[in-house]
Amino acid sequence: MIKAFIFDLDGVIVDTAKYHFIAWRRMANAVGSDFTEEENEKLKGVSRMESLDLILEWGGVEKTVAEKQELATQKNEWYREYILKMDDSEILEGILPFLDAAEAQGLKLAVGSSSKNATTILEQIGLKDRFEVIIDGNKLTRSKPDPQVFEMGAEAMGLKPNECVVFEDAEKGVDAALSGGFYAVGVGGDNLKHAHHVVPDFTNLTPNDILQALPAAAI
């Protein structure tokens, strides 16, 4: 029986991909390289250091470990300039009524994000106190598609994976949820068809719409 919803943050609750893109491009340009918005899609759900490696690889740029650390730190400073300007107007449509309805139905709510900035973003948009558990990139030793982030979330709520639904906008995030034995709902893209259910976004969506779309064993 489903007892909790675990939400990815970036791309599910807020659209931060645009800020990651601007900050990563600034970094790429600084090392004489660049990358496209299409390539940026491939960075969704990917950790900071893995994203840096991909961007450098696309540009054919080689850097030492120490230089990479510096570039990642610089990018994060630029990224934080943008996220520190965020407010509740950036919460994606339908999220607030969905959280209200889920809470009213007695479902527990958690966030499972790869981002080390997840708690800052939740504070900026005023949602930090809405979640019983927040697992962010600072607590993780393994990135998605490893299920660690969601396993830690379920464990902190005292629940088993098959009692939780994970909402994810990234292919690697859906893979992580499925490999951990969670129910997975893809939010957005065509690349999420392996999830148990896919929704375009949260507009007019209710928790019951989700529960009814899952395999019978979930309810």
Residues with catalytic function:
8, 10
Q: For residues 219 and 129, what is the distance between their CA atoms, to the nearest angstrom?
A: 27
Q: Pick from Mg ion, ligand BG6, none: which does 108 bind, CB < 5 to 8 A by kind?
A: none
Instruction: For residue 124, state whether it binds ligand BG6 (rule: CB under 6 A).
Output: no
Instruction: For residue 122, state whether it binds Mg ion (rule: CB under 5 A).
Output: no
Q: How far is the CB of 204 from Mg ion (least distance, A)?
A: 21
Q: How far is the CB of 217 from ligand BG6 (least distance, A)?
A: 29
Q: How far is the CB of 115 from Mg ion (least distance, A)?
A: 8
Q: For residues 88 and 167, what is the distance between their CA atoms, to the nearest angstrom?
A: 20
Q: Residue 45: how many CB atoms within 10 A of its CB?
A: 26
Burial of 215 (0-12, 13-18, 19+ CB in 10 A): exposed
Instruction: For residue 175, state whether it binds Mg ion (rule: CB under 5 A).
Output: no
Structural tokens at position 139: 């607590």
Among 2, 20, 71, 149, binds ligand BG6 (CB under 6 A): 20
Structural tokens at position 54: 């991909």
Binding site for ligand BG6 (CB under 6 A): 10, 20, 43-48, 51, 76, 113-117, 137
